[in-house]
Chains A and B, each alone.
Chain A
Amino acid sequence: MSVYATGFRAALRNRRLAAVLWLSLLGSALVAAGPIKALFKVFDEGAFRDALVKGWDGWAFVSFVVTQDRGIAIALASVGAALVVFALLTIFLTGGVLRALIAGRPRPVFRLVVAESAGLFKANLWATVRFVLTAGIWTGILVALPVLGIHKLFKDAAPHTFWPNLAFWWRYGVGAIVLLNVGLRYDLARVALARGEAVNARGAYRVAKRRLRGSRTSAILLAVVWIAIGLAVQAAFTSWGLRWNPQTNASTFGLFVFRQFGFFVLAMARVGFWASLLAWEDTRRPSPSRYGV
């Protein structure tokens, strides 16, 4: 079975695991729910209620942004807080998700994920710090410096000619390759921690380096495929959600449920990615697999 088929199969089989991830997303987003509720209260009190129920009144939105600036600032701050909470939860839960997949137990899963996550959290946190630092350093060396160099050496080049175009595509093309590489090593380090092949982030990164040696292209392809799947899921549900345009309270509730289903599918894709990566990593391991999905 290919690593992709393994991933799809695991995504469908480990729905409870996906539910844990989805709940972490919804729970984190709810950190911003209070300020958002307060911000949108005016929608029901003012002149644009009927227009907003029917559709999207441009003047309502423009004037809303200007007159509700304080409420918007508070809501944005709460979104920032939600982002921090979700980042920590994601780092926390990844260890447990990997352990659950390695154990091959689709249920019961919640207690297992939390318990295993707690055990791996410290090492995963250090792995994250290392990821952020290495991403910064490599992006600086391989992306920022060459781009700055091109701009400095060819500052008199007209826009959209060879050198400015090269700088533009270098920024995004090489930037993406660098981030994919650094990200994969981070992911494989966490796999090594989950498998117990390393006791700390440093050792885990060493194991990850060995796994990637000579197999970088297939690993990058795997990551790109799952990113594309995630983007497709997100784009499809977002597009359907926007077209929904509910005009009754029941329809609004329906939209909420539908979108949560979309985020649940996205969480399934994340489970699928991890299962695929584990299967891929299995093929590069010297010892027989302990992974049974």
Chain B
Amino acid sequence: MKHFAWAAAATLALALPAAALEAPRKIVDYDIRVSLDPETKLVEGSETLKWTNPGGGPVGELRFHLYWNAFRNDRSTFFKESGGRLRSDKADTGKGWGYTDVTSMKWNGAELMKGSRFESPDDGNPDDRTVLVVPLPRPVAPGETATLEITWKAKVPKVYARAGYVRDFFFFGQWFPQIGVFEPAGRRRQTDAAWNCHQYHANSEFYADWGDWRVAITLPGKFVVGSAGALVSEKKDGGKKTLTFEQKAVHNFAFTADPRYVVVEDVFDAAKDVPKDELARAAKALGRSEAELLAGFRKVAIKLYRQPEHGGFDRRQIEAQKWALAWTGLWAFPYPYAQISIIDTPEDGTGATGMEYETIYTTLSPKWMARWPFDRLYVPEMVTIHEFTHGYWMGLLASNEFEESWMDEGINTFTEFVMVDRKYGAFMTFPPGIGFTDEQSNRVSALTQDHDPILSKAWKYATEGSYGRNSYPQPGTTIQQIRNLLGEEKFWRAFRGYAERWRFDHPTSEDFFDFMRASGDPLVADLIRKTWYGRGWVDFTILTAETNRDDGFTGFDDATKAVNFDPDPKKKEKRKDDKGKDDKGTWRSLVTIARDGDLEMPAKVVLTFKDKSTITRTWDGASEWVKYRVTSSSPLVKAEVDPERRTVLDRNPWNNARYTKKYDGPSAAAKGRTYALHLVEILLSTLWGVL
């Protein structure tokens, strides 16, 4: 009975936190010993795993991720989904295969592997070997901790998707037998306790329990190793060395090894590295004092493990990292760990580039981007900011990437473009000065037709493109739309509220929406319903914009007297032609504006007249169209809806304005086609150098 009471209390404490956590609930404790043979690419490992049943009932079997089996053969779910290709990298189907084989798993001395089996809970693929199910001789009671001794062998795959090797470069992500998540009822709004242990997919890989890691890595002495943890010991034995790292309060552990790494170190210090104007901006928007905002910051050791030829990026990468630490610290909450490791992948190992793990991530620094004129492209900075900030939206707010990929990638895309645009302005600039922001480059998604709602399981989108659109730019842009609807103060208070409440926890989409809907704005609630759960869209169009001189009453009056015209049929009618006349007098204008799509959005409408005067109206956007009739002393020249482009989801911004025949300003089309013709001539004239 006493045992039951303790278990019940533990269950409640673990499953149903009512408020923000100061530290994560520790479910796992890994003590891993691993040795790498860089010649054969073989790995031998053993781990002591302490797993605590979080509650919800006794657990009779355990589930493990064996994610390198995704690279085992061409029948794995990952290979089938990806076609052996990720981004621009292709699998080496010659010798590049990899695997993980668990050779033993013991609990209290009893071998568990005899009854083990592979399952494919997501797609039923009988050939997939990425989820191992291990029945137990007796159930693990709620709150009880099972200590497992596991040994395994693995072969590192040739890198093309996240983890693997190229030459002597190794990146170890999802590399050890990692236990799945047993979710008690109430966790992530689940109604029943159950295992949540997904297969390795082309588009998702993250969801795990919090805990502590101790990892001892044995490998030849020439290797430089960076990891998710802090180095606690180093032992040398002949030509080999064993490095031991520790990290608490994370839910994953990745490391990298390469003899060519040059390590650049720096320290983030909020007193120096938080920009004053950003601090003031955050304090105003969040309604907190600057001292309060700065209080939670700590010094963070930054380690950049870079390729020797990429020295030109040191300052750029460190600055981007410091800015991201400052920004997230102000607008979400301060980074809680003591260190962050930035891994610069080699240019022939781009399969591992742009990957996020807790306290460690990979970025890119292609040498050509350090040279003029490409040094104005802030892509390396953008990748660094993006991957680091994953450490918040996938890491510190440990959402389930498999089931709600937008919570990782989408929120991250939003914070990425806010950060990049604030620091760098135009993210890319091309001659003759056409610059666009990171936000605009993501807003492009809103211009295209869609086939899925934002919210879907990562492997269930219609196409790869639909996954990309609905996980990255579309949710990012839709959050920007919410920001525009709520205004700065309401939005950022809700945003920081969400981040602080769900830190060290496992939020769901609805948890995010709750904070956004809390303001009571019905448009926000409607937007969430129609975009995350539907395919909502909007397009404003100026259907008509006409302006005509009002010559006063014309026709027969009530006394059948001809007014303002000559009824004599023999006399020639005077032409009512505005051309050549001045614009004095009274003008009547009619503007019709339509809203296509199912998203109701308010919009400002601006009517501009020839004398440069303007009339501004606000349309609530509730109806499908609206007409404005205006009488003025100058002809209407332009009608425009949403001139400030607050509706970032507008599918076609080009039809948001229309000019009347009274507009006689310069032609943008003539300018455009003149430059285009010159471009064609430049292209053609290059033939003079050859023919």
| Interface flag for A115 (CB, 8 Å) | no
Name which residue of chain A comes closest to B689, CB basis: A227
A41 within 8 A of B: yes
**Which residues from A are CB-within-8-Å of B5?**
none
Question: Does B613 interact with chain A (Cβ within 8 Å)?
Answer: no
Q: 1/0 contact trace for A7-40 toward B, CB 8 Å?
A: 0000000000000010001101110110011011
Q: Which residue of A lies closest to B367 (CB)?
A: A160
State whether A58 and B431 are in contact (beta carbons under 8 Å apart), knowing that A46-B656, A252-B674 are contacts in the complex: no
Distance of A186 from chain B, by nearest CB (Å):
8
Given A47-B656, A66-B448, A83-B684, are A252 and B667 also a contact pair (CB < 8 Å)? yes
Q: Which of A83, A183, A243 contacts B683, CB < 8 Å?
A: A83
Q: How far is the CA of A128 from the CA of B76 in the complex (A)?
A: 52
Measured in the bound complex, the distance between the Cα atoms of B684 and A52 in whole Å is 26
Tell me which of A84-92, A136-144, A204-212, A279-287 binds B: A84-92
State whether B309 touches A159 (Cβ < 8 A). Answer: yes
Given A43-B672, A59-B436, verify A156-B691 contact (CB < 8 Å): no
Can you list, as one digit per residue, whether each of A90-115 has a CB less than 8 Å from chain B (1) or not (0)? 11001000000000000000000000
B167 x A266 contact (CB < 8 A)? no
In the assembled complex, the CB of A70 is this many whole angstroms from the nearest CB of chain B, namely 13
A24 nearest CB across to chain B (Å): 9
B592 interface residue per 8 A CB criterion: no
How many whole Å from B129's CB to the nearest CB in chain A? 29
Given contacts A56-B433, A59-B653, A63-B654, contact A40 B659 (CB under 8 A): no
How far apart are the CA atoms of A67 and B436 in the complex, in Å? 16
Pick from A58, A158, A238: contact of B260, CB under 8 Å: A158
How many chain B residues sit at the interface, stated as a range, is: 35 or more
Note all chain B residues with C-beta closer than 8 A to A45.
654, 658-659
CB proximity of A44 to chain B, nearest CB, Å: 4
Residue of B nearest to A135 (CB): B690
Do residues A44 and B167 form an inter-chain contact, with CB atoms below 8 A? no
Cβ distance A255 to chain B, nearest Cβ, rounded Å: 6
Q: Which residues of A contact B659 (CB under 8 A)?
A: 44-45, 49
Chain A residues, Cβ within 8 Å of B511: none
Q: Is B548 interfacial (CB 8 A cutoff)?
A: no
Contact A63 B433 (CB under 8 A): no
Provided the pairs A47-B656, A49-B657, A62-B436 are in contact, do residues A234 and B685 lie with their beta carbons within 8 angstroms? yes
> Are A48 and B654 touching (Cβ within 8 A)?
yes
CB distance from B58 to the nearest CB of A (A): 52
**57-80 of chain A: CB within 8 A of chain B:** 58-59, 61-64, 66-67, 75, 79
Residue B1 is within 8 A (CB to CB) of chain A in the complex: no
Question: Nearest chain B CB to A214's CB is how many angstroms away?
Answer: 25
Interface-lining segment among B171-179, B184-192, B202-210, B439-447: B439-447
Q: A249 interface residue, CB < 8 Å from B?
A: yes
B575 at interface, CB cutoff 8 A:
no
Cβ A26 vs Cβ B432 within 8 A: no
Cα-based distance from A47 to B545 in the complex (angstroms): 13
Residues of A within 8 A of B436 (CB): 58-59, 61-62
**Contact A47–B657 (Cβ < 8 Å):** yes
Check A58 against B677 for contact (C-beta < 8 Å).
no
Nearest CB in chain B to that of A255: its residue: B674
Docked Cα-Cα span, A42 to B441, in Å, equals 21
CB neighbors of B among A208-242 (8 A): 227, 230, 234, 238, 241-242
Q: Is the CB of B671 within 8 A of A53?
A: yes
Q: Which chain B residue has the least Cβ–Cβ distance from A246?
A: B671
Minimal Cβ-Cβ distance residue in B for A156: B167
Quick one: CB contact mask for B664-675 with A, threshold 8 Å, 1 for yes? Answer: 011111111111
Is the beta-carbon distance between B309 and A160 smaller than 8 angstroms? yes
Q: B682 interface residue, CB < 8 Å from A?
A: yes
Is A40 touching B431 in the complex (CB atoms < 8 A)?
Answer: no
Asked if B685 and A58 sit within 8 Å, CB to CB, the answer is: no
Q: Is the CB of B688 within 8 A of A242?
A: no
Residue A185 lies at the interface, judged by CB distance under 8 Å to chain B: no
Give Cα A87–Cα B659 distance, bound, in whole angstroms. 41
A263 to B447, CA, bound (A): 38
Nearest residue in A to B681 (C-beta to C-beta)?
A29
Q: Is the CB of A230 within 8 A of B688?
A: yes
Known contacts A43-B672, A47-B654, A52-B672; is-contact A263 B685 (Cβ 8 Å): yes
A64 contacts B681, C-beta separation under 8 Å: no
Q: Which residues of B contact A277 (CB under 8 A)?
A: none
B519 CB-CB contact with A under 8 Å: no
Please tell me if the beta carbons of B687 and A86 are within 8 angstroms of each other in the complex. Answer: yes
21 chain-A/chain-B pairs, Cβ below 8 angstroms: A33-B673, A40-B676, A42-B669, A43-B667, A43-B668, A48-B653, A49-B659, A58-B437, A59-B436, A63-B447, A63-B652, A66-B448, A67-B654, A128-B691, A158-B348, A159-B346, A160-B367, A249-B666, A252-B671, A259-B674, A266-B688
Q: Which 6 A-B pairs have the closest CB atoms?
A: A58-B436, A242-B432, A47-B657, A52-B668, A46-B654, A160-B309
